[in-house]
Amino acid sequence: MIKNINTLFVTMFGLGRTPIIPGTLGSLATVILLYIFFHVLDLSSIIIFVFLIIIFFFSFKSVALYIKDNTNKDPREVIIDEFIGQSIPIYMYEISHGTVKSFDEAIIFYAVCFFLFRFFDIVKPFPVNFFDKKFKNSFGVIMDDVCAGFYVVLSLICFMIFKSYFI
């Protein structure tokens, strides 16, 4: 029973078992879930932060348990790492603005975060590729997506700096 619950967790309730683009679907589900948390349910950013931290730390043990007897140490059905990586730029955006976001602004930003995250997760620039290649364990599975999430944050900060100088 514990193994079944763990499998549901690391595959985001079976979404990772879809035959095509499971990582992209996991990222999209994350975007939708976080939009609901922040803009529909209007949950406190502290509650969401605690939720994300619990998911983050629980993921290390869960992914390790899932891949323990698997020859592939980064199976495509494990998409909880996409949830973690995709959550980083969206959460940072939500807490970085002291104002209420309009529906249009949030949708555009969430879409930009989604596409940038998928880009960095697929292209895997350094250090994303470092974690992906050097750590064939739960740490590597999760940290490459964490790095991709921070690349999105860095890209958006650079864009805002350039925008402030040229517009």
Q: Which of 42-51, 52-61, 70-79, 109-118 has the lowest mean pLDDT?
A: 70-79
Considering the chain, what is the average pLDDT of its residues?
91
- pTM here is 0.91
Q: Is the pLDDT higher at 98 or at 69?
A: 69
CA pair distance 111, 101, nearest whole angstrom: 14
- 125-152: average pLDDT: 89
At 98 the pLDDT is 64
Which residues 6+ apart lie within 8 Å of 16 measured at CB? 10, 22, 25, 26, 76, 77, 78, 79
Mean pLDDT over 106-126 rounds to 94
Mean pLDDT of 1-27: 93
User: Using CA atoms, how far apart are residues 113 and 93, in angstroms rounded to an integer?
Assistant: 9
Name the residue with higher pLDDT: 60 or 131.
Answer: 60
Cis preceding-peptide flag for 127 (omega within 30 of 0): yes
- At residue 126, what is the residue type? F
pLDDT recorded at residue 129 = 83
Confidence band of 5 (pLDDT split at 50, 70, 90): very high
